[in-house]
Chains A and B, each alone.
Chain A
Amino acid sequence: MSRMRSNTYYLIARRLGQVIIHLILAALSLTCVLPLLLIVAASFSDELDIAKYGYSLIPRHFTAFAYTYILKVPAQIIRAYGVTTFVTIVGTGLGLFLMALLAYVLSRYDFPWRKSLSFYVFFTMLFNGGLVPWYIWMTQGLHLKNTVWALILPYLIVPWFVLLLRTYFAQLPNELLDAARIDGAGEWRTFFQMVIPMSTPSLATVGLFCILMYWNDWYLALLYIDSQNLHPLQYMLYNILMNARAVQAQPQTTGIRLPIATVRMAMSVLATGPAALVFLLLQRYFIRGITVGALK
């Protein structure tokens, strides 16, 4: 009898524990997603409401005015979308291809220079020249300032991604690749017809990391791009934030109410939207990607 009761207590305590854990995790998850919800809500709010009552999670008056305001003169944003899309596609495509080739070579157990070349690649994760030499080399040496290549080339090979890919490739059964060789397949053929098809999930994971890295980048534009024609989305957004402040500071424009706060938010939504969508649809690839990387 008493044993049964303690069992019930145990079950209740366990249930309660589960409920508490779920509550904590749900609250944390909400905190992580909340910022974006707030930005979306604000982008659909009325400018005057924000000025009077501040930002809120539910718009007092629902309006898409900020979006129509932005899209009235769409040239700039279309241009920025174009730059970002181009940079993302070319950078991811080329980078993924070159990194996969390198990682494949480094993953082959019978490649004699595997160790020394791995060191050559991964040493750059530990030591670098820092910002100043890099900047001078990029601008004075390679003359990449104000070219679209300044937005692509610096991120082409990421040693960390090479490391991930090498780990994936090393898990492919050696017997299979050796058998292909015995059957007369050359290295290129083995790479394209065996390695690539067998590792699509891992290539997808690294590819997605690349896509988001390029899509979210503002740093290269901050350093290397002056001309507005080459501003990617994130950097354009950053500029709008700075300029909006400049507009606010000028006394002669105080009479006219530019929808600064809501436009800022609507721009953020437009800039993040595609990346957020990619993440939501494919998040399990990312999660698996780090899991494999973490366990090495």
Chain B
Amino acid sequence: MLELSRLGVKAEPAKRQGARRTVWRDGRNLTRLFMAAPALVWIFIFSYVPMFGLIIAFKDYRFDKGILGSEWVGLTNFRFLVGTREAWRAMSNTLILNAAFIATTLVVSLVVAILLYQIQHHILARFYQAALFFPYFISWVIAGVFVFALLNSDTGLVNQLLVKWGRPKIPWYSSADYWPAILSAANLWKSVGFWSIVYFAGMLGISPEYYEAAEVDGATGWEKTVYITLPLLLPLITINVLLSIGRIFYADFGLFFHVTRDQGALYRTTDVIDTYVFRGLTKSAQIGMASAAGFYQSVVGFALVFLSNWIVRRIDPDRSLF
């Protein structure tokens, strides 16, 4: 977005009050406001109103009494939450798994982007991009079907192979220890295409002159990658990582719900805040605890986003969210 001040155009300081009145009187601006109105109203109803609902966390919510009619209970819900082991487990699982996802996605998608950049065959490069991007558009339900085809204990592809190699079958859907790795792989499968295209696009933006100069100096492909591509890509990488860290309290519900088939035996390593809140709301009817966990997620999550955005703005003001 072009800012007028950056173009050297300064706002006229004189006649502030008159200017304000013309802003309102200018029919064009009113028309524009009218054009944007439906979307703005929608955002108010579907995004801002639920924010007020956060007060539920401090209430003993009863469906028959409604949000405003329910009794205030102070921090009771939070005291319960802190005393539950499942809540702590969900919290630490969310942080650990998301951290693993951020790291693996970054490394693999950077490697893929670098490889794509090395390719001289453009049609094939486009083909690879499309294939890698494909899973991004497959729903987690389908991904869950596929993982089930791989891992179910009797007919799954993996156990068939294990038997063929003379190893015992593994009951994947009740062995929680394997799941951080399985979920990381599923997450990679779905997101690597997207992020490698982002980084590849970033590389295309690097001026070829740098590479030409390096070639004259006799740099190898590896050296060019390490000393030119990666340093020039660093701002983009930093920003994306910071923004992902800002969202570290939010888990990808579909991944954790469908790929694990919501198996209770796996909760030890796979239950995250989002699935915990979902169960509290729909199955165990512990709305108090669910809303307290949700409140915690929203507020701490927001603080993190705010912090990471502040850092992003110091690196590159154009890329910060606000």
Contacts and interface: CB of A to CB of B under 8 A. Distances in A.
Interface size class, chain B: 35 or more
Interface stretch (A67-75, A85-93, A132-140, A196-204): A132-140
A25 B130 contact: no
A98 B39 contact: yes
Interface in B112-167: 112, 115-116, 118-121, 124, 126-135, 137-146, 148-150, 154-157, 159-160
A276 interface: yes
B36 A105 contact: yes
A138 B220 CA distance: 59
Nearest to A56: B157
A131 B277 contact: yes
Interface stretch (A58-66, A251-259, A264-272): A264-272
A170 B155 contact: no
Contacts of A187: 28, 31-32, 35
A24 B118 CA distance: 12
Contacts of A261: 155
Interface in B159-200: 159-160, 189, 192-194, 197-198
B39 A33 contact: no
Interface of B: 1-2, 4, 23, 28-29, 31-33, 35-36, 38-40, 42-43, 45-54, 56, 61, 63, 66-67, 112, 115-116, 118-121, 124, 126-135, 137-146, 148-150, 154-157, 159-160, 189, 192-194, 197-198, 201-202, 204-205, 221, 236, 253-254, 258, 261, 274, 277-278, 280-282, 287, 290-291, 294-295, 297-298, 301-302, 305-306, 309, 318-319, 321-322
A contacts with B: majority SS = helix
Interface in A11-52: 17-18, 21-22, 24-26, 28-33, 35-36, 38-39, 42, 50-51
- When A and B form their complex, which 8 residue pairs have the shortest distance between CB atoms, in order from nearest? A133-B53, A129-B50, A130-B294, A29-B131, A54-B160, A216-B139, A102-B39, A35-B146
Contacts of B258: 238
Nearest to B297: A130
Contacts of B61: 136
A130 B142 contact: no
A216 to B, nearest CB: 4
Interface of A: 17-18, 21-22, 24-26, 28-33, 35-36, 38-39, 42, 50-51, 53-56, 98-99, 101-102, 104-109, 111-113, 117, 119-137, 140-142, 153-154, 156-157, 159, 162, 166-167, 170, 181, 186-188, 191, 212, 216-219, 223, 234-235, 237-238, 241, 261, 264-265, 268, 271-272, 275-276, 279-280, 283-284, 286-287, 290-291, 294-296
